[in-house]
Structure 1
Amino acid sequence: MKSPYYGIPLVAALVAGQAAGATPSLRIIGGQDASIDQYPFMAGLVMRGDEKKEVFCGAAVLDSNWVVTAAHCVQGDLAEDFEVFTGVDDLGSSNGQRIAVSRIIVHSNYDESSTENDIALLQLASSTDAVAIRAATPADAGFFATGQAVSVAGWGNTSTTSEVFPMLLREVDLQVTDFGSCSDAYDGLADSQICASVPGGGKDSCQGDSGGPLIARTPEGPILVGIVSFGQKCGAATHPGVYTMVSAFGDFLSSRGDVETPGGGDDGESGTGGAGEGMFENWIPDEFNHVEAGGVLAHEYSTFMPVLTGEQGEAWVGFYNGNQHGVTISNLHVRSSQGVMVVDDQCSTGELDAEGSCEVKLTWTPEAPGDLQAALVADVHDGASSHAIELPLQGVAVQSIETGDYLKGEYYSSEPEAWVLDNAGSPDGEMMLSHDLEDGETISLFVDTNPSGAIEADADATLPIEDDDLACDGFVFGDVECDDSEYTDIAVTLGFQYHAPDTRVKLYADGVLVAEMPARAGWHSEQVELIDYSLLRLEFEAVGSNNGQRKVYFGGLMMSETPPVSSGSMDPEDSDSVPLKGQLGR
């Protein structure tokens, strides 16, 4: 994923994006230490299970159950991926609270390329004791007019030439910059953005501060004026920092009062939530993309992941009415400019009974490789009220990668030209696929281990189900009735080699996340035991700064129907394994 300037996306590990003519950085330069007493509303985001010092974005507490941050910090991830800490200024201390996130609401008009509407709400799984900050309104405009004093705080980079991330909270005092000159510097900004800097530069927010609060201090107390969004370099005299102007999003911020259960967003906002939440607890495994509104669940149980360019792919979305009364679904359509079409709508034909289900079939014939940008939207009516459902659709268009006779299986990518056959540095001298991964980039490599001329992936047929994992109760996923007895685990061990410095690797088998591997600066042999599968997806995500790029390698596939010999290697002579290329266990 690539984004303009700095601060976007800022997920997992302080990664910068790239734009033509921009030297990316992510957003406190020229400031000083601050205490939680000065910023009692300060919050930080970490990936679930990470230490506090791995904070990658800031946030601000709006009330005991909600924090606000930048959309680019959380876009595309599940609520269960994140935790929020509050009430702490020293990341090395045990003070404060650490709270799981139950729901994410990203502004429905967030534009990843222009950074407009870069704002998101996070609902906390339990209440925080932290003091909340009041969000600015248009009536407060005098406090953030041009030249007015503002301050920003965070745990972001304190250096303009390297990476120095403090353990103590930092703050810097700035001034609101003339909007016209700032907009000109960036070739155009939206009216919902605001800029801050100091004459001559040298003071700014920086890498790791994204999502944090820009505040103005009033006689009645501090108010939240902006949210750290993006900029060019840190502390540059020519380019002030750009912030999402909070006063322009009053309706969006007040919509959290209408939310009672985690899941999808109402009022045209998009939401992501994990399974085991709200009224649909234990209904939908995390592998299924889903949202909820008005007691109706929409879940994408078959996705466009992936589709060969020039060929037609299919996806299915199921709707389930969890209410004890009927509802009607109307205005169902796809919001997309990439040609995704509804070809079979069984949900808008009449009333959907209480605890009833229906499904929608979609098709997509991509013209060029790349990610799908589309959402299925619909209105749900129960006679007394209406609710909007917006389900982002998952999909990627891919092309085949030429591997000749070096690698077994079929390889595909949305950036096929970026992958090359290379044996430089290979531990056994054999060919590997390599790719230059830029800071801030995430790329997937698909491997069809059972080529048949087309890519097929059926999560229903391979999803491992335990008795307590899914409350079936006759629920239907497409044309497959939920029945625990139909799912069988077939033991398969996959072995491969990879070399991925500053890069996190995730392995999916037929759409199901089965393993996460840490960054490896040298060659590493990995083994994963999983169920029977046909399509693998390896996701490479840059998790640190590496002077703009790093080279990742992948190869050495091997399968075995017997348990691995050891945790670090697999010997073909000691198992009934079928090597796809070379041998592992170096």
Structure 2
Amino acid sequence: MAKTLHRLVKAVVVTAIAAVVGLLTTVPSSADVTPFVVGGTRATISEYPWTVYLASTSGSQFCGGTLVKGNKVVTAAHCVSGRSAASTRVVWGREDKQSTAGITASVTRIWVHPSYTSASSGSDVAVLTLDRSITSAYLPLATPSDTALYAAGTSTTILGWGTTSSGGSASRYLLKATVPVTSDATCRTAYSNYSSTSMVCAGYPQGGTDTCQGDSGGPIVAGGKLIGATSWGRGCALAGYPGVYARVATYYDLLTTQINS
């Protein structure tokens, strides 16, 4: 029986087909919330400069995130709920986790959506405040008026360092993949607890490309905007079970308040 997991931090292995990115941690019940990029290819930090990963004080990567301002990162609530700021680091500018490139910033504050209880229940968004301002391009948030970016069939890019197969090894390198947004009806068929208000699904009907463990909190991008954060799903890249992402546009006002604080 599939286990419900969050798509938390784990490295992703490159495969020949399009990949899905998503970081998850373990969650209770029937949805396997384990995201990582499956079927992905190598991505460069120069092309996706706002992609970051979360790490422990020892440097172990466990989730992904998106730089949305010099000192602010959007990630999934399940990645940081219960964690202390002191035990969390954000690594920017390092596509190869074994290199020393980029910047490792300390986290001074963690904001978790006040309604968050579990990834599969929604409100799976969080904002981290860094101890410094990073000079980089940032990714804007999707707004409530960006409904076209959530339309079924919209092409999206997923990114992460998670595993490249369910239960597999994390990727040493940043991976990317292209997956289409699925319809709300399709997602609801796969997951009875799917909410079109707080979530968005993406993936191919036949599976093969998806986010997986260690990709949680990482970005799903469309139209040059952050439309979601990798949240949960059943297994990784399974036919009929697309990846589920926190719908950023729904939380635009709350997230913007935290980003500007």
Pairwise TM-score range, normalised by the shorter structure? 0.7 to 0.9
State the Cα distance separating 1:74 from its structure 2 match.
0.5
**Residues 1:65 and 2:67 aligned together:** no
1:7 matched to 2:13? The reply is: no
In proportion to residue count, which structure has more strand? 1
- Measure how far apart 1:35 and its partner are: 0.4
Report the Cα distance in structure 2 between the residues aligned to 1:24 and 1:123, rounded to whole angstroms. Answer: 26
- C-alpha displacement of 1:15: 7.5
1:55 and 1:42 mapped to 2: Cα distance?
13
Deviations 1:12-31 (A, max 9, x none): 99884254445563430011
CA contact (8 A) 2:9 2:61 kept: no
Is the 2:77–2:119 Cα contact (8 Å) retained in structure 1? no
SS of equivalent residue, structure 2 residue 179: strand
4+ runs deviating over 6 angstroms: 11-15
CA distance in 2, matches of 1:241, 1:140: 20
Take 1:104 and 1:22, find their aligned partners in 2: how far apart are those partners?
Answer: 26
Query: Shift in Å at residue 140 of structure 1?
Result: 1.9
Structure 1: segments with no counterpart, 5+ residues: 260-586
Aligned counterpart in structure 2 of residue 43 of structure 1, from 40, 43, 52: 52
**Are residues 12 and 149 of structure 1, via their aligned partners in 2, closer, same or farther at CA, if it must alter by over 3 Å?**
closer
Structure 2 residue matching 1:110: 3-state secondary structure: coil
Match among 61, 80, 97 for residue 74 of structure 1? 80
Query: How big is the shift at 1:77?
Result: 1.6
* Separation (CA, whole Å) in 2 of partners of 1:39 and 1:185: 31
The equivalent of 1:247 in structure 2 is 249
Q: What residue is the counterpart of 1:126 in the other structure?
A: 132
For 1:11 and 1:205, the matched residues in 2 are separated by 11
How far is 1:11 from its partner? 7.7
- Structure-to-structure mapping, 1:399-478, within 5 angstroms: none
Higher normalized contact order (CA 8 Å, seq sep 6+, divided by chain length): 2
- State the aligned residue count: 247
Letter in 2 for 1:193: M
| Equivalent-residue separation in structure 2 for 1:258 and 1:92 (angstroms) | 33
Describe the shift of the 1:135–1:74 C-alpha distance in structure 2 as closer, same or farther (beyond 3 A).
Answer: same
Q: Normalized against structure 2, the TM-score is what?
A: 0.88
Q: Cα distance, 1:184 vs. partner?
A: 2.6
Give 1:366-377 correspondences, 5 Å limit: none
> C-alpha displacement at 1:125, in angstroms?
0.8
* Per-residue deviation, residues 325-375 of structure 1 (Å, max 9, x unmatched): xxxxxxxxxxxxxxxxxxxxxxxxxxxxxxxxxxxxxxxxxxxxxxxxxxx
Pairing partner for 1:184 from 163, 183, 189:
189
Q: What is residue 18 of structure 2 aligned with on the other side?
A: none
How many Å separate the matches in 2 of 1:24 and 1:127?
A: 32
Unaligned runs of 5+ in 2: 12-22
Q: Do the aligned residues in 2 keep the contact of 1:115 with 1:229 (CA within 8 Å)?
A: no
Which residue number in structure 2 is paired with residue 146 of structure 1? 152
Give 3-state SS (helix, strand or coil) of 1:138's partner.
coil
1:33 aligned partner: 42
Q: Is the 8 A contact 1:6 1:27 kept in 2?
A: no
Partner-residue secondary structure (3-state), 1:44: strand
| CA distance in structure 1 between the partners assigned to 2:50 and 2:259 by the alignment | 19
Instruction: Work out whether residues 157 and 179 of structure 2, in 8 Å CA contact, stay in contact via their aligned partners in 1.
Output: yes
Alignment partners' CA distance in 1, 2:149 and 2:30: 33
- 1:215 and 2:236 aligned: no
Question: 1:224: Cα distance to partner?
Answer: 0.4
| Inter-partner Cα distance in structure 2 for 1:139 and 1:212 | 22
| Contact 2:35/2:232 (<8 A) preserved | yes
Task: Give me the whole-angstrom Cα distance separating, in 2, the residues matched to 1:117 and 1:214.
Answer: 16
Contact 1:28/1:154 (CA < 8 Å) preserved in 2?
A: yes
Q: How far has the Cα of 1:129 moved from its partner?
A: 1.9
Change (3 A) 1:248 1:7: same
When residues 148 and 15 of structure 1 are mapped into structure 2, their CA distance, relative to the original with a 3 A threshold, is closer
Change (3 A) 1:101 1:159: same
Question: Residues 126 and 34 from structure 1, CA distance in 2 versus in 1: closer, same or farther, beyond 3 angstroms?
Answer: same
Superposition RMSD on alpha carbons, in Å? 2.1
Which residue, 226, 231, 234 being the options, matches 2:233?
231
Post-superposition offset of 1:206: 0.5
Note the C-alpha offset of 1:166: 1.6
What is the alpha-carbon distance in structure 2 between the residues aligned to residue 130 and residue 158 of structure 1? 28
Separation of aligned partners in 2, 1:113 and 1:169? 23
Q: Distance in 1 between matches of 2:241 and 2:62?
A: 23
Secondary structure of the residue that 1:56 maps to in structure 2?
Answer: strand
SS in 2 for 1:123: strand
- The 1:29–1:119 alpha-carbon spacing in structure 2 relative to 1, beyond 3 Å, is same
Computing the radius of gyration from Cα coordinates, the structure with the larger value is 1
Pair 1:159-2:165 in alignment: yes
Contact (CA 8 Å) 2:158, 2:221: kept in 1 or not? Answer: yes
